[in-house]
Amino acid sequence: MKRTLTTIFGLAVALATGLVHSQEIKGDAKVGEGKIAMCIGCHGIVGYQATFPEVYRVPMINGQNAKYIVNALTEYQKGERKHPTMRGIADTLTEQDMADVAAYYSTHTKDVKPVPEKAREPNAQVAQLLQKGACVSCHGDNFSKAIDPSYPKLAGQHKDYLYVALRSYKLETNPKGGRTNAIMGGMAKQFTNAELKELANYISSLPGELQTVPESRFR
């Protein structure tokens, strides 16, 4: 009897814990505006280039899916995305901070134009690469409306960033730029770096909703 009660209690605790974790933390864009001081020095400057661990334009995150932003920050915090600067920033954020910052960036856009439902046809080589990677199955026909908001919008993103991001999934153990993700790792490892550049160039050329909205560095 004692063992049964203990088991029931354990199950109850597990269920309660699961319910708490399953409740998504809601972000507040207005509150998030006051939490972006560490973000605007890079993501608030149009065309800003990172110089470490290599040179590339930092991603446009205005208009990005909020859930994806939270996921990315969480992965930096856990070390699943290895980038010293982003890891340092993510380590200072609570889950609520991440949700607030994500809410701000996902909604803080200017003059966003409608995106076609389907991306323009790529050339034959890129079409084969897209089919091989099954890219649209997650990122959508126009690469701007993913099948799940935890996946990123890609259309129009900087091509140099896209290439570095794709290649990082092939460099999982690299302490300065690797990323660990079973799905993306399996996909990226099918391609040569030259092929990843072809994919990045095509996706970057598509019309999208991503932007860099200039921010004052003095707050």
Give the model confidence (pLDDT) of 139-183 as tens digits.
Answer: 999 999 999 999 999 999 999 999 999 999 999 999 999 999 999
- Alpha helix positions (H), 35-181: 40-43, 66-78, 84-90, 95-107, 124-133, 136-139, 159-168
Q: Would you say residue 211 lies in a domain?
A: no
Residue 179's DSSP bridge partners are: 81
For the full predicted model, state whether its pTM sits above 0.85. yes
Q: Is residue 13 part of a domain?
A: no
The answer to whether residue 152 sits within a structural domain is yes
3-state SS, residue 21: helix
pLDDT at residue 118, rounded to an integer: 97
Provide the pLDDT for residue 24.
85
Q: Give residue 5's pLDDT.
A: 40
Q: pLDDT tens for residues 12-53?
A: 444 444 444 447 899 999 999 999 999 999 999 999 999 888
Asked, for residue 70, whether it belongs to a domain, the answer is: yes
> Residue 77 has what pLDDT?
98
Q: If phi over 0 gives left and psi between -120 and 50 gives alpha, with beta otherwise, what is residue 35?
A: alpha
Which helix (H) or strand (E) is 18 found in, with range?
A: helix 2-22
Instruction: Write the CA distances from 215 to 47, 52, 69, 93, integer angstroms.
Output: 13, 22, 18, 20
Structural domain boundaries, residue 106: 26-204
Q: Is 187 helix (H, G, I), strand (E, B) or coil?
A: helix
| Mean pLDDT, rounded, of the chain | 91
Q: What whole-number distance in Å separates Cα of residue 200 and Cα of residue 194? A: 10
- Please report the pLDDT score of residue 216 as a whole number: 79
Instruction: State the CATH number of the domain containing residue 88.
Output: 1.10.760.10
Residue 94: what residue type?
T
184 part of a folded domain: yes
CB 154 within 8 Å of CB 115: no
In 11-70, which ranges are E strands? 49-50, 56-57
Query: Domain for residue 78, yes or no?
Result: yes
- Predicted local distance difference test score (pLDDT) of residue 217: 65
Q: What percent of the chain is predicted at pLDDT more than 70?
A: 89
pLDDT at residue 126 above 50?
yes
Residue 218, pLDDT > 80, answer: no
Q: Does residue 47 belong to any structural domain of this protein?
A: yes
Dihedral angle computed from the Cα positions of residues 70, 48, 179 and 131, in that order, rounded to the nearest 10 degrees: 90
Total number of domains in the chain? 1
pLDDT at 16: 43
- Let me know if residue 58 belongs to a domain: yes
Local confidence band at 219 (pLDDT 50, 70, 90 cut-offs): low
Distance CA 59, CA 43 (A): 7
